[in-house]
Amino acid sequence: MSGDKKNINENNETELMELGKFYFLNNKYDEAIAEFKKVIVMNPNNAEAYYNIGLIKETNNDFDGAKKMYIKALNIDESYKSARERLNKLIGLEDE
């Protein structure tokens, strides 16, 4: 992991996203959120970063927190299908 991190360009949004996802997939949720937040500072319109924080919050059973993040992702990109699906599920809306 430390080897991977050395190669990350802290000014590169895509690389930070990838690092966040790497942490997420390895159940290192605090570290993952820290990376996604860096992405948001760099680009406040990165819907995927909000979506990923939402996934982590949902994994942690923080459903209100997850909803807020999915809503933020959808405010940026209203056609974000995965965010819409997860939000609808949390709210209790059935798919059509």
Partner 1 sequence: MQKRQFAVIGLGTFGSNVAKELAKRNIQVLAIDNDTEIVNRISSFVTQALVADATDEKAMKDAGIADCDTVIVSIGENIETSILATLIVKELGVKNVIVKCVSLWHSKIAVKIGADKVVYPEFEMAKKLAENLVSPNILEQINLSKDYNLIELVAPKVFWGKTIKSSGIRNNYEVNIIAVRRHVPVIDDNGHTDIKEEVNMVPGPDDEIMQNDVLVIVGSEKALSKIKEV
Distance CA 15, CA 36 (A): 11
Site string for partner 1, 12-51 (x = CB under 8 A): ------x--x--xx-x-----------------------x
In this structure, the number of other CB atoms found within 10 A of the CB of residue 86 comes to 20
* Shorter beta-carbon distance to partner 1: residue 27 or 45: 27
CB of 68 to partner 1, least distance (A): 15
Alpha carbon distance 2, 81 (integer Å): 34
Which amino acid, one-letter code, is at 30?
Answer: D
Report residue 48 as tokens.
């995927």
What minimum distance in Å lies between the beta carbon of 95 and partner 1? 13
CB neighbours (10 Å) of residue 94? 6
The span from the CA of 72 to the CA of 34, in Å, is 17
Nearer residue to partner 1 within complex by CB, 3 or 94: 94
Q: Which of 2, 7, 11, 61 binds partner 1 (CB under 8 A)?
A: 61
Chain residues binding partner 1 by CB under 8 A are 18, 21, 24-25, 27, 51-52, 55, 58-61, 82
